Amino acid sequence: MISANDALDELRDGNRRFAAGEIDADSIASRVHKVGMSGGQNPFAIILACSDSRVPVELVFDQGLGDLFVIRVAGNIVAPSQIGSIEFAASQFGTRLVVVLGHSNCGAVIATLKELSLEQTHRSPNLRAIVDRVRPAIEPILQAHTHSDEATLTGAAVRANILASVDKLSHGSLILEQLIESGELTIVGAEYSIETGKVEFFDRDRL
Ligand SMILES: [Zn+2]
């Protein structure tokens, strides 16, 4: 299995190709030709991303079948099923890198901001389970940005939510903590810009 650093380089290169519009029908076809991988999988990165329809993970990193182990949930939140999925992939495949991929104008973050501002209540307990997981990261941001415009506030809230998920995963379970401590797993945050198609990684310096 490749190192976390090499995995990060692969993702950065792939996103550069995507953002530059270098992906054409031929390159997508060559990816799909890997169909028939019944022998197993060997994903070099685990990605916890938002369900937003504008952030298809394999496409934005220009990766093919079997390359990425992807978990998608509104607001890229961390709940037990996300932790379990990551434990499974890291233990089963020896994948060294986890990326929490948030994105600009995230609907789950905006919904939480609205709820905090207007004290609206959601009728669905299932939707509440998502908002309640976003809320702790967002509350201090809302207080610190009382004079900011909406775009600045939303941007800060999106980043805080990504970093909160990185933090929750890093201390999410004994298995993940041990893998991180032994240097076998690295978790980083990243933000995808819907406007530019570019992904910015937050914790590159720590690697
Ligand atoms: Zn989102």
CA 126–ligand 1 middle distance (angstroms): 16
Among the listed residues 54, 55, 79, 77, the one whose alpha carbon sits nearest the alpha carbon of residue 68: 55
Confidence of residue 33 (pLDDT cuts 50, 70, 90): low
Helix ranges restricted to H, the chain: 4-19, 25-32, 57-60, 80-93, 107-118, 125-144, 150-170, 174-181
Residue scoring higher pLDDT (36 or 168)? 168
Query: How far out from the chain centre does Cα 44 lie?
Result: 15
Least confident of 36-40, 73-77, 91-95, 137-141: 36-40
pLDDT of residue 157: 96
pLDDT at 202 over 50: yes
Instruction: For tokens 């937003």, name the residue.
Output: 52
pLDDT of residue 204: 53
pLDDT of residue 207: 47
CA 100–ligand 1 middle distance (angstroms): 12
38: left (phi over 0), alpha (psi -120 to 50) or beta: alpha
**DSSP letter for each residue of 87-148:** HHHHHHH---EEEEEEETT-HHHHHHHHHHHH----S-HHHHHHHHHHHHHHHHHHHHTTTS
CA 158–ligand 1 middle distance (angstroms): 9
pLDDT at 206 over 80: no
Model confidence over 110-126: pLDDT tens digits? Answer: 999 988 877 666 668 88
pLDDT, average across residues 87-108? 97
Mean pLDDT of the chain: 91
- For the chain, how long is the longest CA-to-CA vector? 56
Question: What is the chain's Cα-based Rg?
Answer: 17
Model confidence over 168-199: pLDDT tens digits? Answer: 999 989 999 999 999 999 999 999 999 999 99
Confidence of residue 28 (pLDDT cuts 50, 70, 90): confident
CA 195–ligand 1 middle distance (angstroms): 14
CA 105–ligand 1 middle distance (angstroms): 7
CA 101–ligand 1 middle distance (angstroms): 9
CA 40–ligand 1 middle distance (angstroms): 30
CA 107–ligand 1 middle distance (angstroms): 5
Q: Tell me the residue type at 15.
A: N
CA 134–ligand 1 middle distance (angstroms): 11
